[in-house]
Amino acid sequence: MPTGRGIRLRTLSWAVTLVVLGAALTVTAALLLLTHYIHQTNNSLAASVESVRLAREIELLLDLLAQVGPHDQTVRHLRGDLRETVQQAGHYVVTAHEAAALLEAANRIDLYLNASREHRIAPGELTRLRAAALDATDRFVAVNVAQSLAAREQADHWDRLANRIGLGCGAFLLTAAALLAWWLRTRAFRPLIGLAATMEAFARGRRDLRADEVGPHELREIAGRFNAMADVLAAQRAAQMTFLGGVAHDLKNPLAALRLALAAQARDPESAVRTRRTLDIVARQTSHLERMVGDFIDIARIEAGKLELRPVDSDLRELVRESAALFDGYPRHQLALDLPPEPTLVRCDPLRVTQIVVNLISNAVKYSPEGGPVEISVTATADLATVAVRDHGVGMSEAEVRRIFEPFSRVGLSRDAIPGVGLGLHVLLQLVQAHGGAVDVDSAPGRGSTFRVHLPRRGPALNAS
């Protein structure tokens, strides 16, 4: 399955947000700039129109002055209106060229007005000065007309630019949306749909299916975790199958031993020796079956959180003696007890502690298939009492020691050569911890193992329930 680092959806969302925000800010800035220039263009057009209107008004006033006599009462008003109109035109001047044209026209008009007050000025000269004022005014009008045409052309330019920006932004947004939709379809939705389909098929029984770890980083993580969960479930299923095989094997052996013993007894029912041997076999195999069933019941109670302890003050030495006595019928194993002379009182559940010690001795016997001594000792301090069981059997590696307390765990040679389902040590650890104690193990391949159970002498802080 493909692995590696994919883009994170959070990173993608931030990138898309930043791109959209950047595009929005760019478009906003462009629109503001265009609005500013269009506003300037409109102002320039309005000023040019108003300047042309005032210029035409100036020309009209010059024509009126030429038509009235020098002694007419309206001359003074016309002259005042003319100067005021020229001043008003100055308010709408936008460019330096326009200002120069207006200044020239104002000067020509002033010359004409001053000359019209002089009686000695010849009529021809006065006409020439008036014509010069009109020509200067026409040039002022021409400048404004040229400016208005330039402003209109500039407005058309900005309009075309705004259209291009709008079309470009639209094309960019459509392209970005198409790319995002393509990416979501191929890199997000398709892996997501595939993951959902894999999960559905897995739930329907296709336990061999695994999700492809493709797409965004988050989907890769989800697919990876699903695959890890599927691997764990597959391992658990394999462990369960192994467990069922071990249960069948362990039930078959004592039942076969019982059947053979009863068959032998039936062939010679009068033999007291055979009867006693048959009863010993029946007792041993029944005890083995009882321990196995007890382990099943205990693991069920532990998993359900219903394990109960009934602590009382007990002598740990006596509990160890009673447990060791159950293994007197094993001729190839010699149990050696090392017990202190004084009572070792521990507040505990005696049945559970006996179960713990029996489990330790049973493991020591099972994992010493060639026989040999099994050393059992009890030591105590003011606060702790310790039971140690040592064998000289097959031993375990460090990696195997780390796994032996897992349920259904079978390590080393025990998987095939030694009977068991892998529950005993898991139950033992739970019982010890329920008493507030701990277990440690020293082991090496080929040199045997030593299990030490440490129990607080004052008992568990709280009864397990």
CATH number for the domain that contains residue 247:
1.10.287
Residue among 324, 345, 332 at smallest CA distance from 456: 345
- CATH code assigned at 94: 1.20.1330
- The number of folded domains in the chain is 3
Q: What is the pLDDT of residues 54-68, one digit of tens each?
A: 888 888 888 887 777
| CB crowding 128-159: b at 16 or more within 10 Å, else e | ebbebbbebbebbbebbeebbeebeebbeebe
Asked if residue 327 and residue 251 are part of one domain, the reply reads: no
Task: Please identify, among 275, 300, 325, the residue that sits at the C-terminal boundary of a domain.
Answer: 300
Q: What is the pLDDT of residues 129-155, one digit of tens each?
A: 888 888 888 888 888 888 878 877 887
Asked if residue 316 and residue 171 are part of one domain, the reply reads: no
End-to-end CA separation in angstroms for the chain = 46
pLDDT of residue 410: 62
pLDDT of residue 303: 66
Asked if residue 294 and residue 271 are part of one domain, the reply reads: yes
Residue 451 lies in a domain: yes
Residue 206 lies in a domain: no
2 pLDDT more than 50: no
Task: Please identify, among 271, 300, 329, the residue that sits at the C-terminal boundary of a domain.
Answer: 300
Domain residues for the domain of 346 are 307-456
Contact 389, 366 (CB under 8 A): no
pLDDT of residue 441: 94
301 pLDDT more than 50: yes
Helix (H, G, I), strand (E, B) or coil at 367: coil
Q: Which helix (H) or strand (E) holds 20?
A: helix 9-67
pLDDT of residue 232: 84
- Output DSSP code: residue 423: -
Which residues are CB-neighbours of 246 under 8 A, at least 6 positions away?
410, 419, 420, 421, 422
Residue 339 lies in a domain: yes
Asked if residue 46 and residue 15 are part of one domain, the reply reads: yes
Express as a percent the part of the chain with pLDDT over 70: 76
Task: Please identify, among 188, 208, 232, the residue that sits at the C-terminal boundary of a domain.
Answer: 188
Express as a percent the part of the chain with pLDDT over 90: 16
Residue 195 lies in a domain: no
1 pLDDT more than 60: no
* Torsional sign, CA 351, 353, 357, 362: positive
Asked if residue 166 and residue 22 are part of one domain, the reply reads: yes
pTM above 0.85, yes or no: no
Asked if residue 245 and residue 182 are part of one domain, the reply reads: no
Query: pLDDT grade, residue 239 (50/70/90)?
Result: low
- CATH code assigned at 381: 3.30.565.10
pLDDT of residue 463: 42
Of 438 and 6, the structure prediction assigns the larger pLDDT to: 438
